[in-house]
């Protein structure tokens, strides 16, 4: 019940394309869903987050779509750029920010 | 800028050795966390602490212990390192926001031979 399942494990997208990463969860007590971005040699950093009372949140080229009934959420990166190449983690949590993370997606944007 | 400092970026230890990983924060935050990162498994919570001398087990506490004697410092201890503890270890603090934001250190990559 505590798991968050993330797919795909790796993704290659051409520059200018759309990158899509999907996550699914079981625990309906989760009440926030952040996405983290991690560059090599660095710790993860918060990219964008959503709470379950909204179905979509957009920040620049990054959009989270949230489907509460399906218990799924996804990250869309529009107009993907080589600088977006990184590992992305979805996560879910409630209270005390004890997050449960997905397995990670290594995204490569080809120039 | 928030600073979460992990003093050792790279360590190589032998099986059976005792290992200390230290994490220091400059934000006076209560909650501190130790995660382990492995390819294909994501980040898994080992232990967290919500106050000085307070600790709680995460999802994979076996083989680890922690110490929090001062608010700014949270240490992860491997009493007797084993090869399956070769991994990247990440310390984090909470932001206090309601969006699940954690601030992470840059990680400590441990190799146990």
Least confident of A11-20, A35-44, B22-31, B91-100: B91-100
Shortest distance between the Cα of A1 and any Cα of chain B, in A, equals 12
Judged by DSSP in three states, A84 sits in helix
In this prediction, the residues of chain B whose per-residue pLDDT falls under 70 are none
Cβ-contact A71, A53 below 8 angstroms = no
> Mean pLDDT, to the nearest integer, of A51-71?
94
Domain boundaries, chain A: 4-110
Cβ-contact B35, B60 below 8 angstroms = no
The pLDDT of residue A58 is above 90: yes
The pLDDT of residue A42 is above 80: yes
pLDDT level of residue A7 (50, 70, 90 thresholds): very high
Note the pLDDT tens digit of each residue in B49-64. Answer: 998 988 999 999 999 9
Strand partners of residue B65? B77
The pLDDT of residue A10 is above 60: yes
> Mean pLDDT, to the nearest integer, of A63-67?
95
Q: Which residues of A touch B (CB under 8 A)?
A: 2, 6, 9, 32-34, 41-46, 49, 51, 89, 91-93, 96-104
CATH ID of A4-110, from 1.10.10.10, 2.102.10.10, 2.60.120.1570, 2.60.40.10 = 2.60.40.10
Which are the contacts of B18, defined by CB distance < 8 A and separation ≥ 6?
Answer: B77, B78, B79, B80, B81
pLDDT of residue A97: 64
Residue B53, domain CATH? 2.60.40.10
Distance between CA atoms of B17 and A20, rounded to whole angstroms?
Answer: 43
- Distances, alpha carbon B11 to alpha carbons B21, B89, B97, B108, B111, in Å: 9, 11, 33, 7, 6
> Mean pLDDT, to the nearest integer, of A90-110?
90
Shortest distance between the Cα of A93 and any Cα of chain B, in A, equals 7
Chain A residues closer than 8 Å to B98 by CB: 32, 51
pLDDT of residue A96: 65
Q: Which tokens sit at B113?
A: 């031979």
Q: Do B42 and A44 touch (CB under 8 A)?
A: no
Structural domain boundaries enclosing B34: 4-112
Q: How many domains does chain B have?
A: 1
Residue B59 sits at the chain A interface (C-beta within 8 Å): yes
pLDDT of residue B3: 87
């Amino acid at each position: 019940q505590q798991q968050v399942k993330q797919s795909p494990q790796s993704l290659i997208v051409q520059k200018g394309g759309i990158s899509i990463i999907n996550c699914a969860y079981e625990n309906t007590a989760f009440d926030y869903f952040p996405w983290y971005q991690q560059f090599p040699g660095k710790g993860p950093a918060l990219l964008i987050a959503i709470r379950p009372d909204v179905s979509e949140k957009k920040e620049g080229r990054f959009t989270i779509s949230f489907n509460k009934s399906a218990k799924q959420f996804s990250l869309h990166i529009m107009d993907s750029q080589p600088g977006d190449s990184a590992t992305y983690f979805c996560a879910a949590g409630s209270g005390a920010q004890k997050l449960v993370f997905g397995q990670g997606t290594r995204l490569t944007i080809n120039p | 800028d928030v600073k979460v400092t992990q003093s050792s970026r790279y360590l190589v230890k032998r099986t059976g050795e005792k290992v200390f990983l230290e994490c220091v924060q400059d934000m006076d935050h209560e909650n501190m966390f130790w995660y382990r990162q492995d390819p294909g498994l994501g980040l898994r919570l080992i232990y967290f602490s919500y106050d000085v001398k307070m600790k709680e087990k995460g999802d994979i506490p076996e083989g680890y212990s922690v110490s929090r004697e001062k608010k700014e410092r949270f240490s992860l201890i491997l009493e007797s390192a084993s090869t399956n503890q070769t991994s990247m270890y990440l310390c984090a603090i909470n932001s206090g926001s309601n969006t699940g934001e954690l601030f992470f250190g840059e990680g400590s990559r441990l190799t146990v031979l």
